[in-house]
Chain A
Amino acid sequence: MARELAEMMKAGVFRALLVTFITCLLLSCSEKQSVDTVAVAKAEVPIDGAELYKQYCIACHAEGPGHPGTMRLGIRLGEDKAVLTKRTDLQAVYVKTIVRQGILLMPPFRPSEISDAELEALAEYLSTITKT
Chain B
Amino acid sequence: MTSGTLDKDTAHGNRVYWTTWGILLLLTLVMVVLDASPLPRVALVLCMLAAMLMKVSFIGLNFMHLRAERLSLVLVVVIGLLVTGSFLYMLILPDAYRILEMNGGG
Q: Do A and B bind each other?
A: no
Q: Report A's interface with B, CB cutoff 8 A.
A: none
Residues of B within 8 A of A (CB): none
